[in-house]
Every structure is written in structure tokens, then in C-alpha cells.
Amino acid sequence: MVTVRAPATTANMGSGYDVFGAALTRPADLVRVERAAETTIEVTGTGSRYVPEDPADNTAGVVAAELDAPAHVRVNKGVRPSSGLGSSAASAAGAALALNELYDLGYDREQLVAVAAAGEAAVAGDAHRDNVAPALLGGFTAAGDELVQVDAEVPLVACLPETVVSTRDAREVVPESASVEDLVATVGNAATLVAGTFRDDPALVGAGMDDPVVTPARAALIDGYEAAREAALAAGATGVTVSGSGPTVVAACYPEDRRAVASAMVDAFVDADVRARAYQTAVGPGARVLDGR
């Protein structure tokens, strides 16, 4: 039996649509695997009733099939499904690492990223690596043609409103084209964000989150977004954007401002008649084996 803690992740980070991602110190899923003749899945925890237990429809089940590693898989969800915090990616990444250990398969973490992405693709329809890459490699990742990882320690607040935004809707509102002016601004911001992760500099990371193309279109799907963004900035956040495809709103900040930013964001959502909770978190390590075999 092997147990893995697999972290939530925040994808895009504003200027890095479908490319950037970061592992969060919390929340996280726990994935426990035991050898079995056939794969079965059991899901408990937050939002578990929305997660299919049929192995063909569950990212962890697809990962077990990809690895030819049948197991009884127990997933305790700490990452709410459809939150914009890489919930299915956490389960896929956790299952890939746990099964690699259980069956002594010898894959390295980058190889497991490809396996977990296949699990995501089978269930979600798209094989973006912007959540599974940081979930397995930790820190900040840029998953373009190359897969690049940087260890980073930037404080973040991930504020999750009690609303649902479907990834399909969130992808449909993304503009099909962008002006050269907006592309220039996005490249500048993306480069600033990457430099900020190398320096563990919350000011640069926050400034680099600005994105004139994708985020404004998606923010319109999240009731209370503008109020939460303004409240976070007033409380000291250095930058605010939509986490993944939403509805979580993520803010970068200095450590001493994190608590105030978290409560300002929750209050702003509540004032907009939307219940919300905030995770005081940070860029952190990837999935890790807690106990094994």
C-alpha cells in the first residue's frame, strides 16, 4: 500500500494561459493505492459526489490503465472539483506517483507528467500539462514545447467562491485572436512573472500576472470577481488573476499581508452575495510519498 499527498495547483497565472502553473502548499488530495486484480476507485472528501468512481471516467483510473498497474485506489479529495485548483490533476498526479512506487515501475517525474496528462485528457478532453506538471514537479512550471521547472516560494491566497464555472464555458469565452499590442504586453508580463519566481519576488510575480486577453473574458463569469480583486489589491496583494479556468481567484502577496488579503477577498465575495473560503497558501513542493509498500 502506498499513500501520496498530491497538491492543488494554479494554472495560467494570468499571462501564461495553458502554459504556466504552480504547486500550492495547500489544499491537497490524498491518494492511497493497493495492489488488486482489477482497478477500483473510491472517492471521499470535499465534492466527492461529483467525482466518477468508474475507472474509465476517473483520472486516477485512466492513469492505472496507462501504467498497466491495477489497484484499489482511494482518493480523499481536499481539492474541490471544478474549483480551478487542478482537482482532477491532483488525483491523476497522485495516482501516477503512487502506482509508480507500488509497482516499482522506475519512471521519473517528467515521464509521470506525460502519464498523468493522458489521464486528464481521457477525462477532461484536453491534455494540458499546466496542472499535472506542477503537481508532480513542484514549484513553478512552464509547460510549453519544453517543460521547465523552477523551485519558488511565493505567498499566495487562493479564494474559492461557492459558484461553479464549467471549464467548457471558460474556454469558449477566450478570444480567438489578440492584437499585437496585447501580445506584447502579455509577453512582457510573462517574462516578468518568470523572473519573479526565480527571485521569489512577490512584487514581480504579482505584476506579471496581468493579462489583457484571457482573464478579462473569464472574470465576467465569476460573480464578485472585480470586488474581490480590488479588495485584495487594497489589502496589499501584488497581483490578482483567475486560477485555472475559475472560479478560484488567486492573489500574490508578501507574507505579512497574506491574512489580510485572504479576509478582504472573502468579505468582498460575501458582500456580493457569494459565499467563499480562502486558502492562505504559497508556491510549494510537488506530490510526495507519505508511506509506502
* 25, 46, 163, 167: the active-site residue: 167
How far apart are CB 96 and ligand HSE at their closest, in Å?
16
Q: Which residues of this protein are in contact with ligand HSE, per CB under 6 A?
A: 11-12, 18, 128, 130-131, 167, 170-171, 244-245
Query: Which of 89/274 has CB closer to ligand HSE?
Result: 89
In Å, how far are 24, 28, 51, 234 from 154, measured between CA atoms? 10, 18, 31, 19
User: Distance (Å, rounded) from C-alpha 279 to C-alpha 230?
Assistant: 18
Which one, 163 or 167, has the nearer CB to ligand HSE?
A: 167
Amino acid at 234: A
**Which DSSP helix (H) or strand (E) runs through 113?**
helix 109-124
Is 120 in the active site? yes
If the CB atoms of residues 92 and 265 are measured against ligand HSE, the closer one turns out to be: 92
Residue placing its CB nearer to ligand HSE in the complex, 16 or 61: 16
Smallest gap from residue 73 Cβ to ligand HSE (A) = 22
Q: Which of 9, 39, 66, 120 is catalytic?
A: 120
Closest distance of CB 17 from ligand HSE, Å: 6
d(CA 288, CA 271): 38
Residues near 68 by beta carbon (within 8 Å), at least 6 away in sequence: none
Nearest residue to ligand HSE on Cβ basis: 128
Query: Which residues does the annotation mark as catalytic?
Result: 120, 167
